[in-house]
Amino acid sequence: MRVARHGNLCTTMSRNRCGLLPVRISGIALACIAGKRLACEIGAFAISARTTSQSCGGDVLTGRSHTFQRLRAQSLAVVAAPTEADVERDFEDLADRLKDASALEGIGGLLGWDEMTMMPPGAAQARAAQKAALSSVIHAKHTDPILGDILGRLRSSSDSLDKYKQATIREAARAYKKATAIPDDLVRREADLESRAYQGWVKAREEKNWALFAPLLKEWVALRQERAVLIDHLRPAYDVLADDYDAGLTAQRVTEVFSSVRDGLVPLLQDLRSKGVKPDDSWLKGDFDTGEQAKLCREVSVDLGFNLERGRLDTSVHPFTGGAHPTDVRMTTRFKHDDLTEGLTGAIHETGHALYEQGRNLEFDGLPVNSAAGMAIHESQSLLWERMVALSRPFADYLLLKLQASFPDVFSKDHTAQSLYESLNTIKDISLIRVEADEVTYPMHVILRFEIEKGLIEGSVDVDDVPKLWKEKMKEYLGVEPADDAQGCLQDLHWSMGAIGYFPTYTLGAMAAVQIFNAAKREIPNLEEAIARGDFAPLRSWLNEKVHKLGSLHPRADDLLQAVTGKALDPDEFLKYLEAKYRTIYKLA
């Protein structure tokens, strides 16, 4: 370590200077504790000057003093402008510390995955304690004062480093500022509540009873409000929380974008339902063996590029992607006997997340620059594969053959890829469940959740009133009301994890997916023909180079979109895509 090198060097130089070793050791210790660079040349020359003056008289001392002052000024200049070697050593120290914390976070990822897939319910209390203890250890690493000292030096002297290292410093400094605002006690309480609330949500969902979950959500709202104030009491609390999922995201920006989307989708949805010719999707309903569904989903995920040597696919109450590392990516989906599309589209959606994770650049393994560029971009990758690819006309050519092989009694040779494409893109008359929603109604589900969770954090919505408000907004936005809480306000796990501020990233990600896929079509020759024959490598490789490997090189999602597509997020491009696609399918074009 840098402190050890300074200490050893100065101590060695001082050993021949009788009587002064304790003074130099003390000076070194104080300087190193303060996290400052120490110019050893000053110390060595100061000792030499004092020793010589004692034997040679005052004239020599005076000459030495002038020379000492000159060298001291030069050395201080060196401190103010560290060498490239100094900067590289600091970065190596930073990287080592960040990688240690990342490895511990990977353990936390496995604990979370196990809790949602394999853990017996009786272990919930023990798991909560385990996660709280681990979170405390990780928090201590994230808030280590030495880490702060290193970042302080690097932030003012990183010009000689490449752009990936500079981005690592930027992201690490951003995380350090947030982490140091949060006390260990709050970290432990959040980790404990995460386990308790998840188990409570599962039980409440099973019993269709919001009242069982409401006390836990009240705890989450209070903890999230506390966190937001600690991080930045001058900013709106919701903005502080949303920034955890997408850097720079604000409620005002979300409101502006969502207002534009809502204004465009409401008349489109009305036209499709009242004037359009709805495709026949009845042949997609039936009794589909879940074992066969799981086998089909596994085959499709592998075809898309999911590497089973570095990941696995399981089932859970709510589909998600997690794991410990890009070489250990865990994703889940769920199945219904009477609905083939939920398990399939869910698996493809999570495969999009998994491809992003498996495609991260291991050259920067364990460093924040290798993390995703926010959750809106992460969702753009899952939704790109689920919607831009899996719900496209070319993909229907590939998928129909898979369906005929898996369920020959349902998907006969008489069915066509065109009819499959149209049936998969039917607008639901009753759109109750977000993860089952079609492309047109989906954004309204997200807008509803954003408005409610924003109200919870701001204090304008009471937790006990959520079921009533949920039904009112569902009726207003989608023309339906859930029959119970499981179909309504208990359908998502996000609030049980304290993930308040996450929901907007779904629709922001859907918009980004359209822009990114349109850019891919412009740059990849014959892309749609490749998709039709089941060759997904060209698109996957393009995404890996343009998005996955870049990680958090760009500070914000809009910066990445600018680099990949030539412009920041554009709601109009999203609306034009939906208008063109669905007016054609519904014969309104």
Q: 316 and 221 in one domain?
A: no
Other Cβ atoms less than 10 A from the Cβ of 90: the count is: 23
Round to whole Å and give the CA distance between 576 and 570.
Answer: 10
Q: 336 and 317 in one domain?
A: yes
The answer to whether residue 478 sits within a structural domain is yes
| Domain end point (choices 80, 101, 117) | 80
For residue 115, give the nearest of 349, 374, 330, 379 by alpha carbon: 330
Q: Which residues are catalytic?
A: 350
Other Cβ atoms less than 10 A from the Cβ of 524: the count is: 14
Q: 493 and 415 in one domain?
A: yes
Q: Reply yes or no on whether the pLDDT at 110 is more than 70.
A: yes
DSSP code, position 428: P
Q: Reply yes or no on whether the pLDDT at 254 is more than 90.
A: yes
| Domain end point (choices 46, 62, 80) | 80
- At 415 the pLDDT is 86
Q: 510 and 409 in one domain?
A: yes
Q: How many domains does one find in the chain?
A: 3
Domain that holds residue 261: 251-585
- At 72 the pLDDT is 52
Q: What is the mean pLDDT of residues 236-245?
A: 97
- At 158 the pLDDT is 87
Q: 282 and 207 in one domain?
A: no
The answer to whether residue 194 sits within a structural domain is yes
- At 73 the pLDDT is 53
| Domain end point (choices 234, 268, 303) | 234
The answer to whether residue 89 sits within a structural domain is yes
Amino acid letter for position 330: R
Percent of the chain with pLDDT over 90: 79
pLDDT band at 318 (very low <50, low <70, confident <90, very high): confident
Q: 222 and 310 in one domain?
A: no
- Note the pLDDT tens digit of each residue in 351-388: 999 999 999 999 999 999 999 999 999 999 999 999 99
Q: What is the CATH number of the domain that holds 375?
A: 1.10.1370.30
- CA dist list (Å): 431 to 244, 275, 447, 466: 30, 19, 14, 19
Q: What is the mean pLDDT of residues 556-571?
A: 97
pLDDT band at 79 (very low <50, low <70, confident <90, very high): low
The answer to whether residue 374 sits within a structural domain is yes
**Better pLDDT: 561 or 428:** 561
Q: Reply yes or no on whether the pLDDT at 198 is more than 50.
A: yes
Q: Reply yes or no on whether the pLDDT at 199 is more than 70.
A: yes
- Note the pLDDT tens digit of each residue in 53-72: 333 333 333 444 555 455 55
What are the respective helix, strand and coil percentages of the chain, to the nearest 5?
70, 5, 25
The pTM for the full model equals: 0.84
Say if CB 198 and CB 496 are below 8 A apart. yes
Round to whole Å and give the CA distance between 549 and 378.
Answer: 13
Positive or negative torsion for Cα 199, 205, 209, 215? positive
For residue 187, give the nearest of 235, 153, 227, 160 by alpha carbon: 227
The answer to whether residue 240 sits within a structural domain is no
Q: 557 and 418 in one domain?
A: yes
The answer to whether residue 241 sits within a structural domain is no
Q: 64 and 102 in one domain?
A: no
Q: 116 and 41 in one domain?
A: no
Percent of the chain with pLDDT over 70: 86
Q: Lowest-confidence range among 134-138, 225-229, 256-260, 334-338?
A: 334-338
The answer to whether residue 242 sits within a structural domain is no
Round to whole Å and give the CA distance between 578 and 439.
Answer: 8
Q: 551 and 423 in one domain?
A: yes
Tell me the DSSP string of 446-487: HHHHHHHHHHHHHTSS-GGGHHHHHHHHHHHHHS---SSTTT
Q: 264 and 170 in one domain?
A: no
Q: 33 and 178 in one domain?
A: no
CA 229 to chain CA centroid, Å, is: 22
Other Cβ atoms less than 10 A from the Cβ of 258: the count is: 20
Average pLDDT score over the chain: 87
Q: What is the mean pLDDT of residues 425-439?
A: 92
The answer to whether residue 288 sits within a structural domain is yes
Other Cβ atoms less than 10 A from the Cβ of 107: the count is: 15
Q: What are phi and psi of 315, to 5 degrees?
A: -110, 155
Q: What is the mean pLDDT of residues 286-312?
A: 95
Q: Reply yes or no on whether the pLDDT at 328 is more than 90.
A: yes
Identify the residue whose tokens are 């895509």.
577
Q: What is the mean pLDDT of residues 408-418?
A: 87
